[in-house]
Amino acid sequence: MNNELEEKKYKKLITVFSIAIPLAVAALFLIKIPNVAPLSFLPPIYASINAITAILLIAAVIAIKKGHRKLHEKLNTLAIVCSVLFLVMYVAYHMTSNSTPFGGDGTIKYIYYFILITHILLSIAIIPLVLITFLRAKFGKFTAHRKIAKITFPLWLYVAITGVVVYLLISPYYTA
C-alpha cells in the first residue's frame, strides 16, 4: 500500500477515534457496572499517569531541540500510551463509582470549574491533534509535523497538568 492510501486510511481512523472516544466516554458515565466494588484506588494512579505524561512531553521537546529524533519519537509514543492508560482507568473508575461533587466554596469553586471545563474541552480537542501530529511524523512530513506540534504540545501539556490539578482539588471530597 502506498503512503497516500495508507495516510488516507489513517485520517479516516483519526476521524472515527476523535468522534467515538468522547462519545463513548460520555455514554460510559451513564453506565454503572452492577455489583462491583468502586475502583476508588484509581484516581491517584491516573492523576500520576497525567503527571508522567506531562514530564514525557517536556522531555520530548527537549530531546528534539537537542536533535535526538529517535528519543523524541519514543517519548511521545510513551506519552500516547500513558494517555490511553489514563483513559482506560478513568472510564473504569467512573463505571464503578459515582461522580464526586466538588465541595469547595467561593473563589476556589470558580477556579476549579474553570480548570475542569477547559480540561474536558481540550481533552476532546487534543485527540485528533495528537493523532495528526503523530501521523505527520510517521509519514516523514516533518515541516507539517512541526507546524501542528506547536499547537498540539501546549494543549496536550495543559490537559496533562490540569488533570493533576483537578485531581488535587477534588481529592479531599472523595468518599470511600
pLDDT value for 176: 52
Reported as a single tens digit per residue, the pLDDT across 8-48 is 888 888 999 899 899 888 887 788 888 888 898 999 999 99
Reported as a single tens digit per residue, the pLDDT across 65-108 is 999 999 999 999 999 999 999 999 999 998 898 888 999 999 99
Q: Which is it for the CA torsion 163, 164, 169, 172, positive or negative? A: positive
User: 72, 60 in Cβ contact below 8 A?
Assistant: yes
pLDDT band at residue 174, thresholds of 50, 70 and 90?
confident
**CA atoms of 151 and 173, how far apart (whole Å):** 34
- 3-state secondary structure at position 97: coil
List of residues 6+ apart from 75 with CB closer than 8 A? 56, 57, 59, 60, 63
Ordered by where they begin, the domains of the chain are 3-173 (1.20.120.80)
- 3-state secondary structure at position 78: helix
Reported as a single tens digit per residue, the pLDDT across 116-162 is 999 999 999 999 999 999 999 999 999 999 999 999 999 999 999 99
List of residues 6+ apart from 110 with CB closer than 8 A? none
**How many residues in the chain?**
176
pLDDT value for 1: 54
**CA atoms of 68 and 54, how far apart (whole Å):** 19
